Structure 1
Amino acid sequence: DDIVLSTSSTCDSYLWVGPGGSSIATLLNPLLNTTANTTTIPSGDVAYAGGSWSVICVSPDGCESDLSIPIDITINTPPDTAVANSNSPVCVGDDILLSSNSIPGATYEWSGTNGYFSSTQNPVITNAQLNDAATYSVTITLNGCSTGSVVPASVTVSAPPTVPNPTSNSPVCEGDTLWLFSGTTASTYAWTGPGGFFSTQDTAFIANADSTNSGFYNLVITIGGCTSPVGQVEVDIIPTSYVPQIWATSDTICDGLILELQTDGFVGLNAEYIWYGPSGLLDTTSNPTYIDPNITVADSGEYFVQVLIGSCLSLPSQVALIDVNPIPATPDITFTSPICEGEVILLATNTLANGYDWVGPNGFNSDLQNPDAINPATLIDAGSYSLAVTIDGCQSADSVINITINPTPVTPIILSNSPICEGDSLIIYTTNSASEYLWTLPNLTTISQTEDSLIITPSVVADSGMYGLQLVEAGCPSETVFTDVMIQDLSSSQPFAGLDFVVCDGETVLNLSAENNGTGIWSTLSTANIITPSNHQTLVTNLEQDSSYAFIWTLMNGVCGNIGSDTIDIYIAANPIANSDSLTISSGTEELIEILLNDSIPLSVNYNLLDAPQYGTAAVLNNGISYTTSSSQTSDAFIYELCLDACPSMCDTALVTIDIAPYLNAPDLITPNGDGTNDAFVIQGIENFPNNQLQIYNRWGNEIFYIENYQNDWTGEFNNQELPVGTYYYVFISQDTGELIINGYITLQR
């Protein structure tokens, strides 16, 4: 290896001093006098040596430093040449043994051209395969130095020979020569067989063979040092006294079935089996089986066989006695069909036999001559039933019958128009279909008909009771169902709810009491709550004052309908409310005050003066209170009382306040024609309003007259011109208060 020296110092040049010293001649070696801070000395250079090495740093002006602290360099000697050895060649499945020369303290690295690697000195590759064939090399390392020369080992892995397929001339007769043939070319042959037989020939033989030589012979061959698996051949030595065995699958057979005879078989290709029966020679077969596909009763008797192997004919076998029995006649079956669902299936036969085999639907089977009854029969029990009988081991053909089971009709739905009223038609019917309807009346008599309804008209009360119905299909009846029929007689009672009345004094609960002459019910369209509607006497709640209620009592007669209804009207009275009145009446006049116009009166009322007026006079009239003013008064008042006629205790009072206005009256017609009557527009009482204002307008709203402090002197003129005949509108105002005193229309005629 190269010696590589380096320093971390920075110098102009470097003098490298080793075991050769620092003489001028020595330092002339360019590898020892460098400008770089590192130098490499190869192994062939004169300066290449192990030992102590130092460096001198030279400055640019040629000054040299002292020697550096030295380092020791050791040069180790590499190991000898590495030689790889193996046990090649090997066979597939063997172990490959690799080895190398031994150097104490060294390490080893094996590699193969197939990617193999190992760090063991003498590695072993177990169970070698064909892909383990390769060139294997080893590198030996000692003190960090590896061998420079390597001698590899080439390993060959051979496949074993295929399994040999030996043959023979078997079967052979006793005393003949048995030949064994390898059928392949190999390096070696190894035969083994019965009785300790062994041979290394490719073709082996046994002269004068006997029965002890029968059996299996094994052959193993080697090729290229590899041993094959074991090949095998079976050999039969036929003794001249051989007696074959014969047997049948059954020695009792039924007519028309298959007869099968068998004997021992042989491996030999030329074995023949000669079969004999009651009629002589039957057949010669190449396999140890004889079959007669259709045996008959006439074929009963003795059977035997002989075996011919090559030229070896065996002795006759023992005799097989075959008995062929006739097939029994088809049995008879007694049964009943059709039947109804739920009835009993009875099966029987008159045929006598050793055994019985009944088979039918729904998993039915029996081995009895007369099977147990199927009770109750269901729809899945319908279908084909078969019977086969067995006599002397032979079974008859099936006797087949078919049993029909008619389903039970569905349980009917029975309906009616009950309850009904006497005299109506009673109709009892079903929604189910059937071919026959069987009706049962209350007196237990029955009626059969094809219609799905039973009508009794006119009905009477005696027709009430239980009615039954069965559906019938194909003679099968359904379950009977019943319905209860009610026929009600007529009634002549009439309802009476009571007399109308008013509830006074704020009561919100009342009692209703209808005439108790039958079953009835109270009802109302209002929000009132009738506590017991079906009772002719009941409380009613949830009533409100000032509300009217109508309660209806309906008398019922069951299914004969409602007999009739009667209504009672009830008013829950509220107190009347009398509101105060205030009005103005002209002085010196009489006026009717309609006091009820602004009062709240739910019912008819009566009224009277409770406190009379102080100045004027008041009189109670049918349509109000009449009031007459007195002279020189300006106001007055009185109090009246208002009471309900139906509830005299429910009253209210109100105050009537009267202002007395000065008297004022304007005409509605003037005729200014100079006759002294109505010639001017004269307002009576104008003296009560001396500070006044009068305005007159035509029909188009144009003011045609205006005056302050009017003196009753307008005669139908405007700007001193007579106005045309027509209707005019006037407004009379108090200038003191600005109040409108009077207004209206006036007609002008001439």
Structure 2
Amino acid sequence: MIVTASVLNPAGCLTLEWSSASSGAGWAAAVSCGLPCQNFEVVLQSSTPAFHLDTGFYYIDICPGDTVSITAEGIYNLNDSVYHQSDLTTDFIWDMGNGTFDTAITVTTVYDTIQGYEVNLYALDSNGCLSSQIPKIRVRLSTKPDMDATSVISNPLCQGDTTSLFGDAITQLWHATSSLNVAGQTYLPDGSGASYTSSLIFTAFSPSQVLQSGYDILGIKATMEHSYLGDLNITITCPSGQSATLKSYPGGGGTFLGEPIDNNAQPIPGVGYEYVWSPTGTITMLGANGTYSHTFTDNNGTTYNNASYLPPSTGYPANSTATAPYPTVTYLPETNYSNLIGCPLNGAWTITVTDNLQIDNGYIFAWGIEFANSVLPISWDYTPTISSEAWNNTSDIIYNNGGQITIMPSDSGTFPYTYTVVDDFGCTYDTTLNVRVVPTPEVHLGNDTTICGFGVVNIDATNSLPGVSYSWNTGNPGPIQQTNVSGTYIATVSYTENNLTCSNSDTLVVEQYDLADVDLGNDTCVSDQIVLHAGNTGHNPPFLYLWSDGSTADSLVVTTPGNYSVTVAIDPNSPCTTTDDINVSIYQPGFLGSDLDFCSFEQITVSVNDDGSGIQHSYNWTLNGDATPFNGYFYKHDELAPGEYTLAVDVDNGCHDEIKMKSLDCTLEIPNIITPNGDGYNDKFVIDGLENYEGSILVIRNRWGNKVFESNNYNNDWGDTDVPDGVYYFILITNVAGHENTYNGTLTVLKNK
């Protein structure tokens, strides 16, 4: 126990007072002189992430893998009383609890392993004086919540069905374990009696707290590998110098610890096993020697067959190449931990490994001491809380209440649904459920339909999904239902995947009605009027009629030409109707007009007047009962031999008319001599047949070329008695139906004949 005078006691006098019920032979003390100390405190100035104070502790809450930076500062209330103190002259000594040590005023480190960390900080000023008060710092890593209970009610489910997903995140308690510290890697090179040490420094116990039982140490753990157990002597030494032997020398021979590289030429680490020496162990290492062997390949590629080894205490590491079986052993120390009773718990605990032979080497990768919970200075724990929860937003969510959603997938396939939570440390965790949506067949039978008469309808439920099955309410197992009768038809199409059958149905109503039998007959032509009868054989009245003029009787009196139609239904509720139409032409008798006389060479055209109905009529022309090439509304003949003819026409196979035609021989006979002597015979220049040529032009000239007569409509009246004898010249021009002919010649006039 160290007692010092302070700068507040300038006299330097120390007074000791005992209060004890026992007696002793006396006491002893070592008195020494040293530099005085000015008490000072160390606090945290800042941290990233920011700390918060709670019941005297600085708490820094982070996520696994986060980086933490902490800056300390000293509070020097007695500064310059004897000497000067400042942060620049003070050493800040950090143990970040994760194997990181530093002496800067600001320390930065990364925390990966999920647990709580005690950060130890103490400071020495320029006189080597320890700070009188140090901050209590805890770094808490968010614990990963247990999300295994996140569930979906139905999986798989059918497309278009609904199911609910329930997010479940149970936050996990972290409780301080009995292990207070873990040291880092130590190389154990080949040596002859050389000792290699690694120390753990504890400062969190009460200043006077000592080990009271060997069972207060639950175990000393070391993750290590070595190629020759017989080399080693391993001891643990407490701060007071008391020690216990974990493995003694000699003994063990060439037995392997871990999976070493049996080659001391290169310091290549092998695969370490974690060994535990516990007062509740089952056997010492020497006792277990020679019991176990296995085959493995080291990190240098060398394979060892049936190599003797000591099994680990806590399982085989992931990078182990050892063959089965995989036993584990908890080892007894070779001297009881009761040798350590009375050891101060605070201070340096040191593991010492002595390599006694100049062969083989190895590594201690990590080691630590696990104290019983009853002696731990502080027992603390924490449980993060969930701040928010949500499912990833998708279009098929129809209900969302944070941790619970209801979905109705409209598509088939496998779809991920991710449930995400954020805890009060700001850490995000998620889990994904893959929901299989089995296709539900689409069934579209179409709109309800009507069958008129004896028609047949094919109701098609065909689906493109492979292996679907069909079921109709008619018992039909096929994709197509054929029918010609009224009824309600229901098709169910089913698709099965992974023992889940998804079905869909559609309904189609078929109504069948008979059709009326309606026949207005062929198109016709009449001379006056006609009564059209709709008729409807084979059915029972009443019937519904609708004529094209809007009337609703069963017959229609037609007095004007045109197209007439009637629509008939046999049932007032039926949408099925029968329609027929007829063209009616009306021509009064004598529609071809009067009989005709004409010159045989004249062009004759006879036509039927349009009746204004807009109907496309049919015409059949005959001449003297013989067919002609004409089938339109007119008959035409350019030249017809003299004679009498009958021209007839039939319009629309119903109206008949005919006329008589006389084709005349209209050849002209022109005389070349006349005797105008008054005897009444051959007195005039008479041209036989000229009566057929109205508007004929005649010009007569004498022998000297003088015009003696001219008429634009010659009527056989030239040749008076006053016409002198002689030879005359004439020009006769006729025009009939556009055909113009010119005749010329000489005419001799002789009066005395």
TM-score normalised to structure 1 length: 0.34
Q: TM-score, normalised by structure 2?
A: 0.34
Of the two, which has the highest radius of gyration? 1
Structure ranking higher on relative contact order (CA contacts 8 Å, 6+ apart): 2
